[in-house]
Amino acid sequence: MLEETLAALDAEDLRVLSIIESLRDRFEYVPLELIESRSRLPPARLSTVLGKLRSMRLVDFRVGSFTGYTITFKGLDVLALHSLKSRGVVKRLGDRIGAGKEGDVYLAEGPEGLIVVKFHRGGVRSFRKVKRFRGYVEDLPTDWIEYAKLIGEREYKVMVKLHEAKAMVPKPLGWNRHAVAQEYIEGVELYKVKSLDPQEALAVLNSILETLRIAYTKVGVVHGDLSEYNVLVSNSLEAYIIDWPQYVYVEDPRAELLLKRDLEYILRFFKRRFGLTRDLEWALKFVRGELIESS
């Protein structure tokens, strides 16, 4: 759907949409007169463009003391996709494969095969996370769209560091606004894995703990929201940890509390689902780098 929407827009449509987005930091609704002056389009042509953007639900408008326009999340999606395609990160966006509290996830075609593109929606769907973000991110935007851009940038940059440190995360491929393109992992979320033999379960758990250890000791971050829902288990039983925008630095006063909670959730899941028991205090020491090897 987004691919078809983008294909239906011409250069003038995209320019007007970009102008409206660029002025959101100054106006909740950008005055029509300012759009006219920035776009330099004849009034009749601008009216046609704005009508088209409205009909496609890429912008909202209001009429009162003045006529103004603001971009919607769909409009932001289109601009982000346009940028990723222009840079060669995405060749074609495919079907949506997930819609959760973090955002909408799509399969896409990249230069070398399948990739994944996530469009963040965090502020709209998870107000609990917004409140927690306010505790450790300075100058957090109160606007949902600006918040989504922030967490998109945040996730991409930490994934680059994690991947460079050899942590088991999908390889980040590109980012624009609130959209993050990353490697496609053939596998399923951990919560969908119904059975593993003891050796397999131990290997998957150790893989998760090793990535948390790399994140803590080499990158200096704690995931902060880990559960069986954001661990991908590949067909070869490798565990990849996803959904990183809510990380905290290890210096954060709440880092140890969040690390303990992350580990409690994962260890509880492995005990319940696979009958595998691991001591929480041992896991904490291992992730902090206080023990040399997993066992």
List residues with catalytic annotation.
225
Residue with tokens 């003891």: 198
Please state, in angstroms and rounded to a whole number, the distance separating the CA atoms of residues 8 and 46: 17
Please provide the DSSP assignment of 93-119 as one string: EEEEEEE-SSEEEEEEEETTEEEEEEE
Whole-number Cα distances in Å, 226 to 135, 179, 221: 18, 21, 13
Q: Where are the alpha helices (DSSP H) in 126-196?
A: 127-133, 144-164
Please state, in angstroms and rounded to a whole number, the distance separating the CA atoms of residues 171 and 110: 13
Please give the helix or strand (H or E) that residue 61 lies within, else none. strand 59-63
Please state, in angstroms and rounded to a whole number, the distance separating the CA atoms of residues 143 and 138: 14
Please state, in angstroms and rounded to a whole number, the distance separating the CA atoms of residues 198 and 271: 11
Give 292: exposed, middle or buried? Use CB within 10 Å, 0-12, 13-18, 19+. exposed
Token pair for 229: 């829902």
163, amino acid identity: H
Please state, in angstroms and rounded to a whole number, the distance separating the CA atoms of residues 81 and 175: 10
Q: What are the phi and psi torsion angles at 248 (to 5°)? A: -125, 150
Please state, in angstroms and rounded to a whole number, the distance separating the CA atoms of residues 155 and 200: 29
